Amino acid sequence: MLTRGQMSAQVLYLESGRVVLGVAGSANTHGELLEHQLGAQLESGWLDATAAVLNLPAAMDAVAETPVQLRAVPLPVFRDALFDARAPLGSVLLDVAHAHRQQTELAVSRLAKDAEARCAEWLLRHAQNSEQGVCSVQLQQRKRLIAAQLGIAPETLSRVLRNLRERSLISGSGRTLNLVDPPGLRSLAGG
């Protein structure tokens, strides 16, 4: 019904049935259950309305677990109806949608990416360019807090950072990490 990472021209409203949401395996075909289930929708409601509000691709895969009855609304019609409301309501809706999307992407990342990919993604997200053109990350938090954000043990974070140094993707130690090969990190992160 929804495929993670793909844009849809319509927004789906579940009128009846049960839909599971999560991450499909690489061999998943229509009708198979998900490899990693993040939730289920049992009641009437919009499927991944956050993606529609933000005009982004689906954050999760959605598979019907039972026979379902759906209503499809073209994306432009859905968005026009939302943003026809007064500015404060639209602003709150966008803020909620952004927060929900961040949480969804974090959950999907923890299921779909290994520790190295999550670490590379984190480094890229926190990188800053200096006036000298050096791309680096200032570690403002303790490594155990960063590891917790990534859903890994502190020892695993240390091992991953060592591996990234050995592969010449990053350099430095202590509080400053230089991103030597940002394209290589992007490739590792899956983006």
pLDDT digits (tens, 9 = 90+) for 105-164: 777 777 777 889 989 988 998 898 877 778 989 888 888 888 888 888 999 999 999 999
Residue 102 pLDDT > 90, yes or no? Answer: no
- The burial class, CB within 10 Å (0-12 / 13-18 / 19+), for 146 is buried
10-112: CATH number: 2.60.120.10
Q: How many CB atoms lie within 10 A of CB 107?
A: 18
As a whole number, mean pLDDT of residues 22-32 equals 63
Q: Which pTM value belongs to this model?
A: 0.55
Question: Which of 57-61, 102-106, 145-149, 164-168 is predicted least confidently?
Answer: 102-106
Domain ranges of the chain: 10-112, 115-189
Residue with tokens 């983006």: 191
For domain 115-189, the CATH architecture is Orthogonal Bundle (1.10)
- DSSP string for 119-131: HHHHHHHH-EE-T
- The burial class, CB within 10 Å (0-12 / 13-18 / 19+), for 49 is middle
Residue 102 to residue 107: CA distance in whole angstroms: 9
